[in-house]
Structure 1
């Protein structure tokens, strides 16, 4: 059995492992630890993301959503409300007026509503910038 296992895994096997079932249990334990590391990496990426006013804001927000989907697969589910707030926090000062407007409203937005409003705001900001340049 040991000859059929990749060398990378063979070196990590205990000599006490005699059956394939024991080997699979041992490997599974090692990947649980990796899941914790992956969760940490994904959370760090999500929390440290910043929109740099380059590229499509919709794609940026969807990338944040994609990271939360990966966390959900790893059994760490973040609410949509939390994701909306993380997006708000990650945007630059040029969106401060928009953030204040959102915070003054009674209700909350879904992620899709947030994307829609931000795309409109981003277009408005680009038009204002173009008008100033002309």
Structure 2
């Protein structure tokens, strides 16, 4: 009874009734093992879309810079690279640190290559 009272109602409702604790815990474990596989698939898909999203983000920034240049508002490529890096999602923190530790500055093309 104690364990059942501590398990979330959503979990309790999706698990059949068991007379002993061992059976209940085994059923809960089985349910979350399949959920972990589903979570892994979801995270992999998010990771893949994040990389595609970063490439799109860089391309959009590059396009905006080109439009501004046509309006005689120019910015250097190094500024654009810094700006793009600073607007990347937090998941790219290590990538930003990597850029900052390199002696050479990257071009937009090199930045795109590094994001692949």
Instruction: Name 1:93's counterpart in structure 2.
Output: 90
Q: Which has the larger radius of gyration?
A: 2
Instruction: Name 2:50's counterpart in structure 1.
Output: 53
- Find out whether 1:84 has 2:81 as its counterpart: yes
> How many aligned residue pairs are there?
68
- 2:50 match: secondary structure: coil
Structural RMSD (CA): 1.7
**Structure 1, unpaired ranges of 5+:** 1-51, 120-134
Gap change, CA 1:74 and 1:63, over 3 Å in 2: same
**Structure 2, unpaired ranges of 5+:** 1-48
- Find out whether 1:110 has 2:92 as its counterpart: no
Instruction: Name 1:67's counterpart in structure 2.
Output: 64
| Runs of 4+ deviating beyond 4 Å | none
Gap change, CA 1:54 and 1:114, over 3 Å in 2: closer
